[in-house]
Amino acid sequence: MAEVVSLNNPSVKTGLSTKLAAGPRGKKPRPMFSPRNIMVYGALIFAAAYYLLPLYVMVVTSLKGMPEIRLGNIFSPPLEITFEPWVKAWSSACTGLNCDGLSRGFWNSVRITIPSTVVSIAIASINGYALANWRFKGADLFFTILIVGAFIPYQVMIYPIVIVLREMGLYGSLTGLIIVHTIFGMPILTLLFRNYFTSLPEELFKAARVDGAGFWTIYFKIMLPMSLPIFVVAMILQVTGIWNDFLFGVVFTRPEYYPMTVQLNNIVNSVQGVKEYNVNMAATILTGAVPLIVYFVSGRLFVRGIAAGAVKG
Amino acid sequence: MNSNSVSVRDLSLSFGAVTVLETLNLDVKDGEFLVLLGSSGCGKSTLLNCIAGLLDVSDGQIFIKDKNVTWEEPKDRGIGMVFQSYALYPQMTVEGNLSFGLKVAKLPQVEIDKRVARAAEILQIQPLLKRKPSELSGGQRQRVAIGRALVRDVDVFLFDEPLSNLDAKLRSELRVEIKRLHQSLKNTMIYVTHDQIEALTLADRIAVMKSGVIQQLADPMTIYNMPENLFVAGFIGSPSMNFFRGEIKDKGGRKVIDVNGVDFAMDAYPARGPLEAGRKVVLGVRPEHVKVDEPGDEIHDAIVDIEEPMGADNLLWLKLAGQTISVRIAGSRRYAPGTALKLSFDMSMASVFDAGTENRV
């Protein structure tokens, strides 16, 4: 019993104890270069390099002039750093007839992405909330239909949607495209929100009902403040998904409303004159910059939200 | 005019094909502390949720303060509810939690402040008002949750296993506090628990439930001493009541229960009706109603199998009539395993159940 008492005595930790026998003591040492560590870190470094190398080539190439690119050393860093390709890609690269660069497509994409993201998240979160907490009649059927919708290939629906939009007089407009994006985001977002709201303690919802809060009060005062992570997840999914969309952008809009991705394609694939690799690279990075920034800024919340949503299915 | 605070009449509830409650009737008197006791899945929480209005009933009626509230929203029923997981709103301070319902009800700020201050005083949580629930201990959280029911200024409090998430020490502390709260407020309280100690200590009356049916509704002492059927007898009491399966026989003009050849005389047992010879019965005796090495008119020999000293009590496990029984004696009396003992049974405190119907005879 005496040893047990002395374990709680701080002086034993600092001073040398005579009670301890020689041999293993305290934390077990782990070698840095164990086979396990070499495997794990080796695999991680390889995977990181695999994905980062193309980005490196793109950045490096975009900072070179055309004469330097023609030398063919795609991995070598630029001898003379020039930002001219970036300026050209943004403001004066030609797509078809007009030569005002990617800037127009950028603003089109912004005008498409922001309303689609906001509207789809607003509707889907309320859908998910209603499905999770207010089990109305036919909720399961509604949910099943919504989920089945997520598995139908987009290509099947394109032509019917073109007709619907034409009949509504929205074909070719930004509004039409925004509506399409909102609808197509619905299944996955509703699923995401429903699962998240189901994972919140049900008693919280009951307590709020006893307190007299109704559908909207509970949603805004109780559920919303607790759901920041899942809203960030939904925002990232929608911003990257809609920003990177090519198919809907090219099908449902006219050239003056083309989103950035479509315009990028037109710049890169234009067959007239010299292939300006540096301009193409700069244009590609510019187009990919928005999702990248979104990831970097909110990545931590993204992981937390995904994990939280995955607790219950 | 009756003085029932809550009255449940012919209540039925089914989820699809599963019937949870069937034509259940329950009257709770004004100011009464009623405990719904049962193991998990017996429908006790479901019944409480029906009374609260959080579940729509399939059939039947619920009256609170003589008003039919079957179709009313929870907020209009005049109830406050405390949940097992506290269910505090995590993003609000304690004060925000207490005042949320009052703000929703659009009460004037002066009134809100007054009620929050009063609840905080009763529960002694004034120093915590500005804190978030995440900064509180389990006991403090549950106190705030009780406060949230308190500020609503209602007639009926509903508790859904409020102490189950707390550790043993806090549980017994808060148990006393809830009892004190009931004594000072004199509100009607309906309390759901699976813990028989909570039920016995808190309740004015206990409703023991099993698969959606109330098995017995009585005050704690009646439930403990005169269980209505075999289920109640086995459910209440720790360690459990000793049961002997046997047959009633006539021996020399005395009624006895013959258990594997061992006879238990029934003279002292307060039977409800005649005990016919040949009837198969189950004799139940609580561990503390067995006397060890004391004079009695009927002595059984037994050998100590295991001894469990518990401080105040000492629990002996013995072999008698071919089965293991437990006996509770004072903690100061110690018996080593293997010791031979003389037992006598206090038949006036025993229970006898029909082996077929499992009801008390």
| Residues of A with Cβ-Cβ distance to B74 under 8 angstroms | 206, 209-210, 212
Predicted local distance difference test score (pLDDT) of residue A81? 86
Closest residue in B to A203 (Cα) is B87
> Do both A58 and A191 map to the same domain?
no
Predicted local distance difference test score (pLDDT) of residue B16? 82
> Do both A59 and A208 map to the same domain?
no
Q: Tell me whether residue A267 is in a domain.
A: no
Q: Does A212 touch chain B (CB under 8 A)?
A: yes
Cα four-point dihedral sign B211, B214, B220, B225: negative
| Domain containing residue A159: CATH number | 1.10.3720.10
Predicted local distance difference test score (pLDDT) of residue A70? 85
| Residues of B with Cβ-Cβ distance to A134 under 8 angstroms | none
Range of the domain at A62: 35-82
Other CB atoms within a 10 A radius of the CB of residue B201 amount to 15
Contact A212 B105 (CB under 8 A): yes
Predicted local distance difference test score (pLDDT) of residue A38? 92
Please name which of B76, B30, B24, B333 lies closest in space to residue B186, comparing C-alpha atoms.
Answer: B30
Contact B54 A226 (CB under 8 A): no
How far, in Å, CA of B25 to CA of B48, rounded? 13
Contact B83 A206 (CB under 8 A): yes
> Do both A73 and A213 map to the same domain?
no
Predicted local distance difference test score (pLDDT) of residue A30? 81
- Average pLDDT for residues B192-202, to the nearest whole number? 92
Other CB atoms within a 10 A radius of the CB of residue A225 amount to 12
Task: State how far residue A197 is from chain B, nearest Cα, in angstroms.
Answer: 14
Q: Is pLDDT of A271 > 70? A: no
CA dist A197 → A138, A191, A219, B117, B257 (Å): 19, 10, 10, 33, 59
Q: What is the bridge-based pairing of β-strands B188-193 and B33-37?
A: parallel
| Residues of A with Cβ-Cβ distance to B98 under 8 angstroms | none
Place of tokens 């809009």: A253
Superfamily of structural domain B242-354: Nucleic acid-binding proteins (2.40.50.140)
How far, in Å, CA of A10 to CA of A3, rounded? 13
Specify the domain boundaries for CATH 3.40.50.300 within chain B.
4-235
- Average pLDDT for residues B46-56, to the nearest whole number? 92
Predicted local distance difference test score (pLDDT) of residue A2? 44
Tell me the per-residue pLDDT of A205-217, one tens digit each, with 9 for 90 and over: 999 999 999 999 9
Tell me the per-residue pLDDT of B219-256, one tens digit each, with 9 for 90 and over: 999 999 999 999 999 999 888 999 999 999 988 888 88
Task: State how far residue A186 is from chain B, nearest Cα, in angstroms.
Answer: 28
| Residues of A with Cβ-Cβ distance to B84 under 8 angstroms | 203
Q: Is pLDDT of A193 > 90? A: yes
Q: Which CATH architecture has domain B4-235?
A: 3-Layer(aba) Sandwich (3.40)
Query: Is residue A9 classed as helix, strand or coil in its secondary structure?
Result: coil
Q: Does A140 touch chain B (CB under 8 A)?
A: no
Place of tokens 């295991």: B306
> Do both A60 and A208 map to the same domain?
no
Q: Tell me whether residue A154 is in a domain.
A: yes
Q: Does B105 touch chain A (CB under 8 A)?
A: yes
Q: Tell me whether residue A299 is in a domain.
A: yes
Give the pair of three-digit tokens for residue B220. Answer: 């704690």
Give the pair of three-digit tokens for residue A52. Answer: 């980062």
**Residue B128 — φ and ψ, nearest 5°?**
-95, -5
Q: B-contacting residues of A 188-207, CB under 8 Å?
A: 201, 203-204, 206-207
> Do both A245 and A179 map to the same domain?
yes
pLDDT bucket at A312, cuts 50 / 70 / 90:
very low
Tell me the per-residue pLDDT of B16-38, one tens digit each, with 9 for 90 and over: 888 889 889 999 999 999 999 99
> Do both A127 and A250 map to the same domain?
yes
> Do both A165 and A301 map to the same domain?
yes
The number of residues making up chain B comes to 361
How far, in Å, CA of A305 to CA of A232, rounded? 7
How far, in Å, CA of B271 to CA of B267, rounded? 9
Q: Does A111 touch chain B (CB under 8 A)?
A: no
Contact B101 A217 (CB under 8 A): no
Q: Does A210 touch chain B (CB under 8 A)?
A: yes
Predicted local distance difference test score (pLDDT) of residue A16? 58
How far, in Å, CA of B331 to CA of B323, rounded? 24
> Do both A74 and A175 map to the same domain?
no
> Do both A43 and A154 map to the same domain?
no
How far, in Å, CA of B140 to CA of B86, rounded? 10
DSSP string, A25-77: -SSPP--TT-HHHHHHHHHHHHHHHHHHHHHHHHHHHHTS-HHHHHT--TTSP
Contact B87 A225 (CB under 8 A): no
| Residues of B with Cβ-Cβ distance to A212 under 8 angstroms | 73-75, 101, 104-105
Boundary residue ending a domain (A82, A114, A146): A82
Q: Tell me whether residue A272 is in a domain.
A: no
Q: Does B73 touch chain A (CB under 8 A)?
A: yes
Other CB atoms within a 10 A radius of the CB of residue A87 amount to 14
Tell me the per-residue pLDDT of B280-294, one tens digit each, with 9 for 90 and over: 999 999 999 998 888
How far, in Å, CA of A247 to CA of A145, rounded? 24
Q: Is pLDDT of A15 > 70? A: no
Q: Tell me whether residue A58 is in a domain.
A: yes
> Do both A129 and A49 map to the same domain?
no
Residues whose CB falls within 8 Å of the CB of residue B287, separated by 6 or more in sequence, listed in order: B237, B239, B241, B242, B315, B325, B326, B327, B328
Contact B104 A209 (CB under 8 A): no
> Do both A110 and A221 map to the same domain?
yes
Residue B239: asked if its preceding bond is cis (omega within 30°), the reply is yes
CA angle B174/B178/B183 to nearest 5° reads 145
Find out whether B25 and B8 touch, Cβ atoms under 8 Å: yes
Specify the domain boundaries for CATH 2.40.50.140 within chain B.
242-354
Q: Is pLDDT of A157 > 50? A: yes
Query: Is residue B19 classed as helix, strand or coil in its secondary structure?
Result: strand
Tell me the per-residue pLDDT of B199-209, one tens digit each, with 9 for 90 and over: 999 999 999 99
Boundary residue ending a domain (A49, A82, A115): A82
Closest residue in A to B102 (Cα) is A211
Query: Is residue A20 classed as helix, strand or coil in its secondary structure?
Result: coil
Q: Find the helix packing angle between A84-91 and A277-309, rounded to 10°.
A: 80
CA dist A269 → A25, A251, A273, A280 (Å): 67, 18, 11, 9
Place of tokens 């179709």: B71
Predicted local distance difference test score (pLDDT) of residue A24? 85
Closest residue in B to A205 (Cα) is B87
> Do both A120 and A69 map to the same domain?
no
Tell me the per-residue pLDDT of A275-304, one tens digit each, with 9 for 90 and over: 888 888 999 999 999 888 888 888 776 666
Boundary residue ending a domain (A50, A82, A114): A82
Contact B104 A207 (CB under 8 A): no
Query: Is residue A305 classed as helix, strand or coil in its secondary structure?
Result: helix
Q: Tell me whether residue A133 is in a domain.
A: yes
| Residues of A with Cβ-Cβ distance to B132 under 8 angstroms | none
Tell me the per-residue pLDDT of B82-140, one tens digit each, with 9 for 90 and over: 998 888 998 899 999 999 999 999 999 999 999 999 999 988 899 999 999 888 888 89
Please name which of A294, A209, A181 lies closest in space to residue B75, comparing C-alpha atoms.
Answer: A209
Q: Which of B73, B87, B91 sits opposite A207 (nearest CB)?
A: B87
DSSP B183: H
DSSP string, A182-227: HHHHHHHHHHHHHHHHHHS-HHHHHHHHHTT--HHHIIIIIIHHH-
Q: Does B49 touch chain A (CB under 8 A)?
A: yes
Predicted local distance difference test score (pLDDT) of residue B64? 92
Q: Is pLDDT of B331 > 80? A: yes
Average pLDDT, chain B: 90
When divided into structural domains, chain A yields a total of 2
Predicted local distance difference test score (pLDDT) of residue A9? 52
Cβ-Cβ pairs closer than 8 A, A with B, add up to: 61
| Residues of B with Cβ-Cβ distance to A228 under 8 angstroms | none
Contact B54 A221 (CB under 8 A): no
